[in-house]
Amino acid sequence: MNRYPSWLNILVVLVFITGFVFALPNVYNSLPSVQIANADGSKMDNEQIDEAIDLIHNLDINPVTKYIEDGRAVILFSDPKDQLISGDRLRGRYLDSKSVAYTLTPNLPNWLRSIGIKPMSLGLDLRGGVYFLLEVDMETAINTRLTLYQQSFNDLLRDSKIRSRIDINGSEVIVRVRNEPDLIRARNIVSEMDSDLLILDGSETSFRVRMTENQIKARQDFAIEQNITTLRNRVNQLGVAEPLVQRQGLDRIVVQLPGVQDPNRLDDILTATATLEFHLVDNGGNSPGSRRYSGRTGVPSQVLRREIIASGDQIIDAESGFSQGQPAVFITLDAAGGESMLKTTRENLNKPMSTVFIETRRVTDIQDGEPSTRVIKTEEIISTATIRGVFKDRFQITGLTPLEARELALLLRAGALAAPVFKIEERTIGPSLGQDNIDRGFNAVTIGFLAVVFFMAIYYKWFGMIANIALFSNLIFIVAMLSMLQASLTLPGIAGIVLTVGMAVDANVLIFERIREEISSGNTPQGSISSGYEKALSSISDANITTLIAAIVLFAFGTGPIKGFAVTLSLGIITSMFTAIVGTRAIVNLVFGNRRLDKLPI
């Protein structure tokens, strides 16, 4: 007789129930919604969401439901028009205190939300949304590092009483001193500061400093990783859910925002490189490295000292508001920036300090009938104020319009980009196109599934129907695991599922053919079932393991769509091994295992 122990039968049933529950959220449709997040990163509460609902009710609009998830307020609507009208009203009401994003949200029952089960994440091609391909300006990243070296060398040599002139020439820093003894000392000081730097000969009283290839690569990698972190923070500040920000190649970043329907503001926020620097005014104009900065309208130009007191990457918080009736940004610095500001204000009371607004953008012109791209860096003084007291890490700046103050506060909160990014591609996929892709993918899975079901039922009779039950369970398990892992399902992912449908019955075909061979050789029906499963196991394992290895390689070295295909293929292989071997054996044992049989319906 063929029997499973009771505990194993119970385990199979529990696994199936668990898979069904995790797959269940994918049955429910998504509705247009708005998500509201506090600009300061704090969690929304019931009182705040009730206030938003009251504003919406004043428009004679009744939302489908509302709740708080991951600190954000989520409000669902039955009509996209209601979503847009309500979102505009909320944005006008909250201005910069809260961010309001348009998106699509699954309309799940409360009991599913309460246990934290979510549907699988749909990729951009299925859900609709916005796609950006950004290019990182690696040249600026390297130049920024060279500028830091220049400032560090100048400080070290000045502290060592060595008069010097330090300039940047291309990819090198040129250090000039007065005589040969100073040259030897300066080389030793630079070498001790960073032993990895290449120090090359120059003239009798100068030498050249260059970054190694490893340092350049490390700086480029840092620029990419820092920019990815900053872009994620900026998207989170806007209240956008489920963003995908990842590296592509050497110098590019992909940003995908499924469900987002208003790309214009996102475009400005993602590519904006606005930051601040604080400099002392050089009234005498005699300090080394001082230069003149232009002022924006109404602000005079000034000669500022080269030393940066604090910069945008040292700002840990920024809030926009009003001070004495003027738009202002209230700044909080980190420990290093605060100490620098404290030292500067203590030593320079009653002296002027300027705030420099820095922005980098790419402009395309037509020259000789061909497009020509150039990078424009704008550096302008937005305010100059006299230091009237000693302060450290908290202060305010003015000189901005209300809109500039809000946008700058958002950018500074999210962090400064390590290097400018430029948009080189943008795609917006509407929800209708995404739904069309879903329908096509669903039809492909359905046709493939029904074709396999029909073949198995005709060719293997009742055993074929058992395999079909396992195949249906396999689809449920794939969807459940995608939901558990919150992996994004894309069109290539659907292709992986379709392939899995065909491959999932391979194991049962091998088992059933082995059972037929056993019967033909004169074995008993029960003995044939046992031998069929045992003898086919090695072939099934070999075939699936080799395919799984190929899927893992695709995931490791592939990008974007290839990864999506590899994920569903890998999950399909794992679940099909369970359903085809353990699942069908449990059903076969239950139906045929406790009976005396003269023949098998196979």
CATH number of the domain at 385, please: 3.30.1360.200
Residues 461, 569 within the same domain: yes
**CB-CB contact of 399 with 382 (8 Å):** yes
What pLDDT digit, counting tens, does each position of 467-511 carry?
888 888 888 998 898 888 877 787 788 888 888 877 778 888 888
DSSP-derived secondary structure for 144-179: HHHHHHHHHHHHHHHHTT--EEEEEETTEEEEEESS
Examine residue 115 and state whether it is found in any structural domain, yes or no. no
pTM over 0.75: no
Examine residue 557 and state whether it is found in any structural domain, yes or no. yes
pLDDT(241) > 60: no
Give the domain-ending residue among 196, 216, 236. Answer: 216
Q: How many domains does the chain have?
A: 4
Examine residue 260 and state whether it is found in any structural domain, yes or no. no
Residues 549, 506 within the same domain: yes
The strands making up 310-311's β-sheet, listed across from edge to edge, are: 302-304, 291-295, 370-386, 352-367, 275-280, 310-311
The DSSP output letter for 208 is E
Using only C-alpha atoms, the chain has a radius of gyration, in whole angstroms, of: 32
Q: Which of 307, 355, 300 is nearest to 329 (CA)?
A: 355
Give the domain-ending residue among 84, 107, 130. Answer: 107
Residues 94, 201 within the same domain: no
Examine residue 597 and state whether it is found in any structural domain, yes or no. no
What pLDDT digit, counting tens, does each position of 349-403 carry?
989 999 888 877 766 666 666 766 677 788 889 888 888 888 888 888 877 778 7
CB neighbourhood size of 3 (10 A): 11
Residues 209, 281 within the same domain: no
Q: Which of 25, 113, 122 is nearest to 70 (CA)?
A: 113
The DSSP output letter for 42 is P
Residues 310, 167 within the same domain: no
Residues 18, 44 within the same domain: no
**CB-CB contact of 270 with 255 (8 Å):** yes
Examine residue 130 and state whether it is found in any structural domain, yes or no. no
Examine residue 468 and state whether it is found in any structural domain, yes or no. yes
The b/e string for 114-132 (b: 16+ C-beta within 10 A; e otherwise) is eeebbbbbbbbbbbbbbbb
Domain containing residue 174: CATH number = 3.30.1240
Residues 34, 148 within the same domain: no
Residues 402, 517 within the same domain: no
Residues 297, 356 within the same domain: yes
Examine residue 548 and state whether it is found in any structural domain, yes or no. yes
pLDDT(132) > 60: yes
Q: Helix (H, G, I), strand (E, B), or coil: what is residue 169?
A: strand
Residues 471, 533 within the same domain: yes
Give the domain-ending residue among 87, 107, 127. Answer: 107
Residues 402, 452 within the same domain: no
Six-digit token pair at 226? 């820092």
Examine residue 401 and state whether it is found in any structural domain, yes or no. yes
Q: Rank 50-64, 92-106, 108-122 by mean pLDDT and report only the highest.
A: 50-64
Q: Which of 310, 483, 282 is nearest to 392 (CA)?
A: 310
The strands making up 326-333's β-sheet, listed across from edge to edge, are: 315-323, 326-333, 394-398
Q: pLDDT averaged over the chain?
A: 82
CA distance 125 to 418: 30
For the four alpha carbons of 149, 152, 157 and 158, in that order, the dihedral sign comes to positive
Residues 398, 440 within the same domain: no
CA distance 220 to 134: 15
For residue 72, give its domain range: 30-107
pLDDT(27) > 70: yes
pLDDT(169) > 60: yes
